[in-house]
């Protein structure tokens, strides 16, 4: 519920025009959401009630809050306010659909292990927050507004897409210490250099499926070549033995 409180506070800060504070509250809510889910899995205290409650909290903190932030920061005080309202609503709708699909797949136990289907909604919220974090001031240029609208629509499509994003839920336990160290480093950098760290981490995660897709065929070919080499060697040995 602390995550929900941070989301609610972010709405108040957004109304007051304190956009940076609102973004930091969204980041804090995302961190708490990740910790909450990890603790529930480790302690084996996951329940249907907890899953539904978590989704409702996510819908507010990572759907409604960023949707309103999109409208308030980028469009409310311009001639394109109605269009900005539509863009914010599209983001909110995509996030709600993403959460509903996640719950259905989780209950049906058809989620692929080690992957999220579509961009997770907390990452969607952080993604649309990054331009606001970098721009700081409200949008005034029409070209920038158009680019921001396209960007928000792209993030919305990624949330409801079938693109597979990797998760750390089923990572081999031998990598736990490495993962914890990496997370500690990222959190430290986030506290020290938020303007650089947050957009960088978000961008890398957004494009990560496409990076894995580009390099996976090469790895598969290498694996096939390695598996074929012993077979070729064994076949040559068989021919040599037959000749003898």
In a domain, 243, yes or no: no
Does the pTM surpass 0.85? The reply is: no
The CATH number of the domain holding residue 104 is: 1.20.120.1760
In a domain, 235, yes or no: no
In a domain, 12, yes or no: yes
Nearest to 138 by CA among 9, 18, 23, 26: 18
d(CA 74, CA 132): 8
Highest mean pLDDT of the ranges 71-85, 97-111, 204-218: 71-85
Contact 98, 77 (CB under 8 A): no
d(CA 48, CA 60): 19
pLDDT at residue 54 tops 50: yes
In a domain, 21, yes or no: yes
In a domain, 14, yes or no: yes
pLDDT in tens, 3-25: 899 999 999 999 999 999 999 99
Give the pLDDT of residue 235.
45
In a domain, 236, yes or no: no
In the three-class reduction of DSSP (H, G, I as helix; E, B as strand; rest coil), residue 136 is classed as coil
In a domain, 233, yes or no: no
In a domain, 181, yes or no: yes
Query: What residue numbers bound the domain in which 6 lies?
Result: 2-209
d(CA 190, CA 69): 21
pLDDT at residue 199 tops 70: yes
Q: Tell me what the mean pLDDT of segment 60-78 comes to.
A: 93
Domain count, the chain: 1
d(CA 39, CA 25): 21
């Amino acid at each position: 519920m602390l995550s929900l409180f941070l989301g609610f506070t972010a709405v108040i800060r957004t109304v007051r025009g304190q956009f940076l504070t609102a973004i930091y509250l969204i980041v804090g809510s995302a961190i708490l959401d990740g910790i909450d889910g990890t603790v529930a899995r480790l302690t084996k205290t996951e329940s249907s009630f907890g899953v539904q409650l978590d989704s409702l909290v996510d819908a507010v903190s990572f759907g409604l809050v960023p949707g309103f932030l999109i409208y308030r920061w980028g469009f409310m005080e311009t001639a394109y306010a109605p269009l900005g309202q539509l863009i914010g609503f599209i983001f909110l709708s995509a996030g709600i659909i993403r959460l509903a699909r996640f719950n259905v797949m989780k209950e049906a136990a058809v989620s692929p292990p080690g992957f999220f289907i579509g961009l997770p909604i907390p990452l969607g919220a952080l993604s649309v927050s990054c331009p606001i974090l970098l721009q700081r001031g409200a949008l005034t240029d029409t070209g920038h507004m158009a680019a921001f609208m396209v960007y928000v629509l792209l993030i919305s499509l990624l949330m409801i897409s079938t693109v597979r994003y990797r998760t750390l839920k089923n990572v081999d336990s031998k990598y736990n210490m490495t993962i914890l160290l990496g997370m500690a480093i990222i959190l430290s950098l986030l506290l020290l250099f938020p303007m650089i760290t947050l957009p960088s981490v978000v961008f890398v995660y957004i494009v990560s499926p496409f990076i894995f897709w580009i390099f996976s065929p090469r790895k598969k070919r290498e694996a096939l070549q390695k598996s074929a080499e012993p077979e070729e060697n064994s076949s040559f040995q068989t021919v040599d033995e037959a000749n003898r």
